[in-house]
Structure 1
Amino acid sequence: MNLNFKHEWIETNVGVMLVLTMIVISIGGLVEIAPLFLVKSTVEKVDGVRPYTPLEARGRDIYVREGCYTCHSQMIRPFRDEALRYGHYSLAAESQYDHPFQWGSKRTGPDLARVGKKYSNEWHVAHLKDPSSMVPGSVMPRYPWLATTLLDTSDLVDRLKAQRAVGVPYSLTQAEYERNVKQFGEAIAKQLHIPNAKDNLVKQATEGNYDGDPSNVTEMDALVAYLQVLGTMVDFSKYDDDYFVKFR
């Protein structure tokens, strides 16, 4: 009876209710925030993660432009059913060079965090042109124009410089190039050197032949190149789940 009286008294006194509410919120906030000051980094230390090549970066731009993220997440949650369907749960390290990152929970279509190398280039091209031809009953719209639209590279350098401004380690100077050689290896460092971006883009598209037509570079080349790299950078066989726990 006494407890009920005190509870009623709190509820009928706005000032007391406000103070007690702020105290509870503050305690909850401290419980959530304080541990972050004790963790050196929430980005896992793994080998293989690198920025996108110029072609992959343009493919990602097209992916965002066409609104693919509204139906496909790139976040596998640490649940058994998701691991069985998609693979290892997503790491923060895998999205450290994504601006903006493509995590989320909206899935009209399947999660694409590990779609890279799961299907052939030909499959992706056919799927993007006519999704229902590859996945009967699919509600995904068609994107046939990607195969006939030449990739615009006129602003490629500016796009890479914009990513560089927010921390993606594309290089402009020789010193920055040498830094990338040490961090990613010479082959990747060459791909990340902005002065050679257009040549590197054309070379990757021609050698990869993502759209099935090596005579030109299309938006289909770029988008398929991007899809084929998703989830392929980290070799999870080198790590066990206990390794990642310390970064949470």
Structure 2
Amino acid sequence: MANYHSVIEKNVSLMIVLTLVAVSFGGLAEIVPLFWQKATTEPMATLRPYTALEMAGRDVYIREGCHVCHTQMVRPLRAETERFGPYSVAGEDVWEHPFLWGSKRTGPDLDRVGLRPITEQWHREHLRDPRQVVPESNMPAYPWLAENTVDWSHMERTLKVFKNQFGVPYTDEDIAEQMQKVNGEWADATEEDAVVAYLLSLGQARREER
């Protein structure tokens, strides 16, 4: 056995190949069973689909790169749960495409931001000039969001894709109702309105769970 170890340890290429094989088997053993566990494949009972306004806000949030600095994944550590709330579970994000979990926190985690005692007006002021409400913030300002109206041209198709391709439980009636709002009360909504609606929706499944 010592001779085998000696051969492997002296052959870098062989060491790399065997390491990759070992890691691959270990990864498969941990990951594959998750595909059959309800906790990772089924939504929480309290989870609801995004409204068209929230969906538009999520699109703007991704477009502006907000997810690069803000994670949406509370880890199961005491320091995390005391600050941000209950740790994240897969059932909260089964309808997220793309999902916005991550590991980089230039800014605070936002997975539970909708549960915090933060008003809609605070979010608006924070987006327009972060340092007015958080003096030490290094977040850039997004004043143009209050000036740009939402582009609704692809929203009906987006909702149908999430329904048909990703399994989000929108009914035809739900989509028709959302499009009525798009063409009515939300017709002149700004991108700021949409982003704030999206932020306020984050974590609401956990509020309903309580």
TM-score, normalised with respect to structure 2: 0.84
* 1:125 equivalent in alignment to 2:124: yes
- How far, CA to CA, are the matches of 1:131 and 1:19 in structure 2? 49
> Does the Cα contact within 8 Å between 1:160 and 1:194 map onto a contact in 2?
yes
Does 226-235 or 163-172 show the bigger shift?
163-172
* 1:170 equivalent in alignment to 2:170: yes
Q: CA deviation at 1:8?
A: 1.8
Using the aligned pairs only, state the percent identity: 48
> Gaps (5+ residues) in structure 1?
178-192, 207-215, 239-248
> Does the Cα contact within 8 Å between 2:72 and 2:102 map onto a contact in 1?
yes
Partner residue of 2:135? 136
Write out per-residue CA displacement over residues 61-104 of structure 1, whole angstroms, 9 at most, x where no aligned residue.
11011110010000000000001110000111111111101100
Change (3 A) 1:237 1:56: closer
Q: CA deviation at 1:14?
A: 9.0
Does 160-169 or 48-57 show the bigger shift?
160-169
Partner residue of 1:188? none
* 1:194 equivalent in alignment to 2:194: no
Q: CA deviation at 1:223?
A: 0.6
- How far, CA to CA, are the matches of 2:21 and 2:125 in structure 1? 58
* 1:155 equivalent in alignment to 2:154: yes
Change (3 A) 1:9 1:218: closer
Higher Cα Rg: structure 1 or 2? 1
* 1:67 equivalent in alignment to 2:65: yes
- How far, CA to CA, are the matches of 2:185 and 2:205 in structure 1? 17
* 1:221 equivalent in alignment to 2:193: yes
Write the letter of the residue equivalent to 1:199: Q
Change (3 A) 1:80 1:25: closer
Change (3 A) 1:56 1:10: closer
RMSD after superposition: 2.9
> Does the Cα contact within 8 Å between 2:46 and 2:209 map onto a contact in 1?
no
Q: CA deviation at 1:33?
A: 4.5
- How far, CA to CA, are the matches of 2:159 and 2:209 in structure 1? 32
- How far, CA to CA, are the matches of 1:15 and 1:62 in structure 2? 46
Partner SS state of residue 161, structure 1: helix
Write out per-residue CA displacement over residues 25-70 of structure 1, whole angstroms, 9 at most, x where no aligned residue.
5652453256447635524663310110111111111101111001
- How far, CA to CA, are the matches of 1:161 and 1:33 in structure 2? 30
- How far, CA to CA, are the matches of 1:117 and 1:205 in structure 2? 24
Partner SS state of residue 233, structure 1: helix
Write the letter of the residue equivalent to 1:80: R
Number of residue pairs matched by the alignment: 208
Write the letter of the residue equivalent to 1:167: G
Partner residue of 1:82? 80
Change (3 A) 1:42 1:6: same
- How far, CA to CA, are the matches of 1:236 and 1:194 in structure 2? 23
- How far, CA to CA, are the matches of 2:21 and 2:145 in structure 1? 55
